[in-house]
Amino acid sequence: MALKSNFDTLVTVFGGSGFLGRHVVRALAIRQYRIRVAVRRPELAGHLKPLGGVGQIETVQANLRFPPSVEAAARDADVVINLVGILFERGRQRFDAVQAQGAEAVARAAGAGGARLIHVSAIGADETSTSRYARSKAAGERLALAVQPGAIIIRPSIVFGPEDDFFNRFAALARIAPALPLPGGGHTRFQPVFAGDVGEAIAKALGGEGKPGATYELGGPDVRTFKELMEFTLATIERRRLLVPVPFALLKLQAAFLQFLPKPPITPDQVELLKSDNVVSAAAREQGRTLEGLGIIPNSVASVVPDYLWRFRKTGQFRGRTV
């Protein structure tokens, strides 16, 4: 019997049009998988099609709150990848509905068709956390594994890349504000991971290099405090700003008002997340369930971020040029 080539393998990617999604789709397209991208608004996902060959990538409509649409998107797929997540709640987009019940709906749809499941969660997922985001992420893992015990769980730290919502956000703030806040003094530790590396890890897990039922924690090569990340951002965009420690209690009070903005810079729930370190655990390192364990040499913040933060310098791309 002839073995199936990658082009004979159909992969459905839920949430594939987002920041991380395009890196995952690119990694899969390079490996010649057929890709079905399931999103709420397919007409806004046309930017993904040039990442593959003609007909290799298709977009379909799906909403995790409507199981029939999820089942249709997963139909005939060999592998299902769930990337859907939200950073803050708005209207009917609630953490539990999207990241817990939604994860269960995707797992059930994958199981119904006999597809393998890769579920993307986050470092810090914990059902005992004070953060609703972290609790819903943990609940999503539990519900997905209850339906699909062989599912592979991917937990990245803060993900960075050209379209990220971390370095870009604070660089933009530094362009107009005289100071940047340091939540709780800026001592919380992070292990930022490049979006392209996460995409590679997911592709490798899909290709058989990941252990079924295992949880992989993905972080970059450097562990830095929030303060160190702000100092790096300011040095990269060549701006001098004050770094002002803000107690968590005061920040949470401010966030109580800021959360009502169309795109809030911070919410009370995010303040709770900032109280805990966001780094790869010792257990994951010991068991080889990391980027390095998947054979990936992670890209550092310093090797990638300056390539897209230049636009926040006073003279942008012309900085340092001579006439």
pLDDT tens digits for 302-319?
A: 999 999 999 999 877 776
Question: In the predicted model, what is the mean pLDDT of residues 249-263?
Answer: 91
Does the pLDDT at position 51 exceed 50? yes
Q: How confident is the model at residue 61 (pLDDT cuts 50, 70, 90)?
A: very high
Averaged pLDDT score across all residues of the chain? 93
Question: pTM for this one?
Answer: 0.93
Q: Among 289, 272, 187, 275, which residue's Cα sits nearest to residue 229?
A: 187
Q: Among 246, 274, 271, 273, which residue's Cα sits nearest to residue 256?
A: 271
Q: What is the pLDDT of residue 2?
A: 41
Q: How confident is the model at residue 5 (pLDDT cuts 50, 70, 90)?
A: low
pLDDT tens digits for 145-189?
A: 999 999 999 999 999 999 999 999 999 999 999 999 999 999 999
Domain 6-163+193-222+278-299, second-level architecture? 3-Layer(aba) Sandwich (3.40)
Q: Among 89, 83, 86, which residue's Cα sits nearest to residue 39?
A: 83
Does the pLDDT at position 1 exceed 80? no
d(CA 92, CA 73): 21
Dihedral angle of Cα 131, 210, 279, 238, to the nearest 10 degrees: -110
Backbone angles phi, psi at 259, to 5 degrees: -65, -15
281: which DSSP letter? -
Q: How confident is the model at residue 6 (pLDDT cuts 50, 70, 90)?
A: confident
Question: In the predicted model, what is the mean pLDDT of residues 232-258?
Answer: 95
Q: Among 254, 231, 224, 132, which residue's Cα sits nearest to residue 174?
A: 231
Q: How confident is the model at residue 263 (pLDDT cuts 50, 70, 90)?
A: confident
Please name the residues in contact with 188: beta carbons below 8 A apart, sequence gap of 6 or more.
225, 226, 274, 275, 276, 277, 278
Q: Domains of the chain: which residue ranges? A: 6-163+193-222+278-299
Q: What is the pLDDT of residue 65?
A: 87
Q: What is the pLDDT of residue 261?
A: 87
Q: What is the pLDDT of residue 278?
A: 96
